[in-house]
Chain A
Amino acid sequence: DTAVSQTPKYLVTQMGNDKSIKCEQNLGHDTMYWYKQDSKKFLKIMFSYNNKELIINETVPNRFSPKSPDKAHLNLHINSLELGDSAVYFCASSQGSLGTEAFFGQGTRLTVV
């Protein structure tokens, strides 16, 4: 079984559309994250949830809204998609302690045309 799974793996959509990316982890972790990897491969945190509570919200446009229905799921909804939103979005999870490994999903490549 995949530890952290994201759907879909690829998403091609037109500017102005609204789309969602789903993430689920079966590791029993209490913290989940969304990271964005741009075209130059730079990875940056977007959001972090701990036990369904938002604890990190980096300077991300309001068009991006995470939702955590339970601690095993963290979905990302994006409104009014723009060309600049094209990137790979990674979901990750970890236990609360500092040294534990963060497990990543396989990423969702979003292309806005």
Chain B
Amino acid sequence: AQTVTQSQPEMSVQEAETVTLSCTYDTSESDYYLFWYKQPPSRQMILVIRQEAYKQQNATENRFSVNFQKAAKSFSLKISDSQLGDAAMYFCAYRSPNAGNMLTFGGGTRLMVKP
């Protein structure tokens, strides 16, 4: 079974600065997807960014980008120009084609943004 680990339970960043959230995973599969989801206090799960394992190019969505290191099984999220609205729980997730496309989540990182 796949496992996803987020080693930072909490992180804080100054507004307008950059922060990186870590995620590692364990798998023997070669084809899979990785996701970062954001969960603000409203509880809603919001997709931030996704990465296909076969693509070497790191995904980017506006201020959000990933550093995907397939050999190291690492998938970190970089948030640039942090904004107060970025404060939330962030979950790294793994999706396997061999498990009904379900998501396996890491334990989450709580990001605080200081004004």
Residues of chain A lying within 8 A (CB to CB) of residue B72: none
Residues of chain B lying within 8 A (CB to CB) of residue A97: 101
- Let me know if A98 and B33 touch, CB within 8 A: yes
Interface presence of A55 (CB below 8 A): yes
Q: How large is the interface on A (under 10, 10 to 19, 20 to 34, 35 or more residues)?
A: 20 to 34
| C-alpha spacing A101/B97, complex, angstroms | 14
Given A42-B108, A99-B50, do A33 and B45 touch, yes or no (CB 8 Å)?
no
Chain B residue at minimal CB-CB distance from A102: B103
- Report whether over half of chain A's contact residues are helix, strand or loop; otherwise say mixed: strand
Q: Which of B31, B47, B99, B102 has the most CB of A within 10 A?
A: B102
Picked from B44, B97, B103, B108, the residue with its CB within 8 Å of the CB of A45 is B103
List CB contacts (< 8 Å) of B60-115 with chain A.
89, 91, 95, 97, 99-105, 107-108
Residues of chain B lying within 8 A (CB to CB) of residue A90: 45
| C-alpha spacing A45/B105, complex, angstroms | 9
> Can you give 30 A-B contacts (C-beta < 8 A)?
A31-B100, A33-B102, A33-B103, A35-B103, A40-B107, A41-B89, A41-B107, A42-B108, A45-B102, A45-B103, A48-B101, A48-B102, A50-B100, A55-B100, A56-B100, A88-B43, A92-B103, A94-B101, A96-B101, A97-B101, A98-B32, A98-B33, A98-B95, A99-B95, A101-B35, A101-B47, A102-B47, A104-B45, A106-B42, A107-B44
Residues on B close to A: CB < 8 A? 31-33, 35, 39, 42-45, 47, 50, 52, 89, 91, 95, 97, 99-105, 107-108
Shortest 4 CB-CB contacts between residues of A and residues of B: A104-B45, A43-B105, A55-B100, A56-B100
Residues on A close to B: CB < 8 A? 31, 33, 35, 40-45, 48, 50, 55-56, 88, 90, 92, 94, 96-99, 101-102, 104, 106-107, 109
